[in-house]
Amino acid sequence: MSALWTSDEIVAATGGTLVGAPFEVSGVTFDSREVEPGHLFVAMPGTVHDGHHFVAGAFASGAAGALVSQPVDGPHVLVADVAEALTALAIASRARVDAKVIGVTGSVGKTSTKEALAAALSRGVGVKVHRSVKSYNNHTGVPLSLARMPRDVDYAVLEMGMNNAGEIAALTRLVRPHVAIVNAIASAHIENLGSMEAIADAKGEIFEGLEPDGIAIVPEDSPYRDRLVKKARRHAGRVLTFGSGEADVAAIHAVRADNGGSLVTARLLESELTFTIAQRGEHWVSNALAVLAAVEAVEADLAVAGLALADMGGLKGRGERHQVEIDGGKFLLVDESYNANPASMAATLKSLGEERSVARRIAVLGPMRELGAHSDAAHAGLAPSILDARIDQLILVGDEMIPLVDALGDSVPVTGAANADEAADALVRIVRPGDAVLVKASNSIGLAKLVDRVAGGTVVLDPLPARS
């Protein structure tokens, strides 16, 4: 197996200087906790910690070399600016591959769509697929994901995110996708961008980096469909839509499957496909249609893509399901702790309402961030989804949820919590065998801690009832 990078290639890409013995690396990371033997450690500067402080630890963990802007002990490539050097390495990585590259963005579900698409493409015989790991989708994560890309991949699926206008434009010009997907538009980041139209425009920047004759994939059912299509036509050789009705890739029929997911018959560009989605919720039908549109766009195997969608397990923080032992029985814990906005909150609450054969439905909800002046109205606006889902008990984290409490009045019992630890304490007091529990908030709230604590083992119940 050839090296991911040699030190000579790193020098050529970055314009740096090799110090010490030549080396080869099998991986790239800027997190010293992720270093494995043979990796390149990128000593990124940071607002809190400077990566150069962790170089020694990286070498102790087996790093083969380092990318640095100041001399260190151990073989390294010395550059003027580490962040710029990582971007240069990303550009060199993209230039050397003969792969179909697919870019994914959107306000909600982009990581899930990216993971599902990578899984669908990977099911092909002998096919090598590279994808962004975790949610590495920003100005450092995208270059890192590109720098990690093996030279012999057949497909690369790369996620791009943003907080402000112009950010995706810069990222897509690094990625240079052959296919670019916008999977949904929602009010995430409206605090920075000011309007839904501006969010749609910022997401549509992904089309600016399309390779010649590239394909843009746009949600048919979005209120911003025409805006996205207009943007895409300036840059794409072809525009495909997915969703319902007259979409190019459309769900003809979708019903709940026996496993709780969906059984879907989809009209594709040249055929029809009936397949099962393991994941629950109507939003996953939309994600799956975007995936199939991309699979067909790159002329990959649609049949095995359908099989991959049937096998998709939940992702940590994005729908992973835990059966947690408790008091001689079990309860279901659905982990949606990674992110939240009004659209994803409504979708996951609806899925909780559709859970069958459960004793009670409990939702542990934290604030949705980056909503700015829209925050109070957006949180209060969750009330209809909660009522429609027949939630039996709410645990609400933080003062930002007060408008929701006011909107609900006395219709649902509510327990307040200041943080993730208090929410975990409240859940342990409330939950019983047979319950279904949804945990969802913006990532910064830290409800992943609650999931790790509660799902980490058998819960010992406090017999006292919860306070409302």
φ/ψ of residue 45, rounded to 5 = -70, 155
List binding-site positions for ATP: 106-112
Question: Annotated binding residues, as ranges?
Answer: 106-112
Query: Mutual orientation of helices 282-297 and 342-353 as an angle, nearest 10°?
Result: 120
- The phi and psi torsions of 163 (rounded to 5 degrees) equal -115, -25
- Label each residue of the chain as H, E or C: CCCCEEHHHHHHHHCCEEECCCCEECEEECCHHHCCCCEEEECCCCCCCCHHHHHHHHHHCCCCEEEECCCCCCCEEECCCHHHHHHHHHHHHHHHCCCEEEEEECCCCHHHHHHHHHHHHHCCCCCCEEECCCCCCCCCHHHHHHHCCCCCCCEEEEECCCCCCCHHHHHHHHHCCCEEEECCCCCCCHHHHCCHHHHHHHHHHHHHHCCCCCEEEEECCCCCHHHHHHHHHCCCCEEEEEECCCCCEEEEEEEECCCCCEEEEEECCCCEEEEEECCCCHHHHHHHHHHHHHHHHCCCCHHHHHHHHHHCCCECCEEEEEEEEECCEEEEEEEECCCCCHHHHHHHHHHHHCCCCCCCEEEEECCCCCCHHHHHHHHHCCHHHHHHCCCCEEEEECHHHHHHHHHHCCCCCEEEECCHHHHHHHHHHHCCCCCEEEEECCHHHCHHHHHHHHHCCCECCCCCCCCC
Is-contact 136 130, C-beta < 8 A? Answer: no
Torsion of CA 106, 108, 112, 115, to 10 degrees: 20
Q: Is the dihedral of CA 411, 415, 418, 424 positive or negative?
A: negative
